[in-house]
Amino acid sequence: MSQSLFSQPLNVINVGIAMFSDDLKKQHV
């Protein structure tokens, strides 16, 4: 139970990082 509760925010953070790095790549190019 606590594992899924912990993996949800972690998933949100991963998505946020992916979107953030995507924005950085667009700015660089």
- pLDDT tens for the chain, 29 residues: list them: 567 777 888 899 999 999 999 999 998 77
What does the alpha-carbon distance between residue 29 and residue 23 come to, in Å, rounded to a whole number? 10
Query: What is residue 1's predicted lDDT score, i.e. its pLDDT?
Result: 56
pTM to 2 decimal places: 0.56
Residue identified by tokens 């950085």 is 24
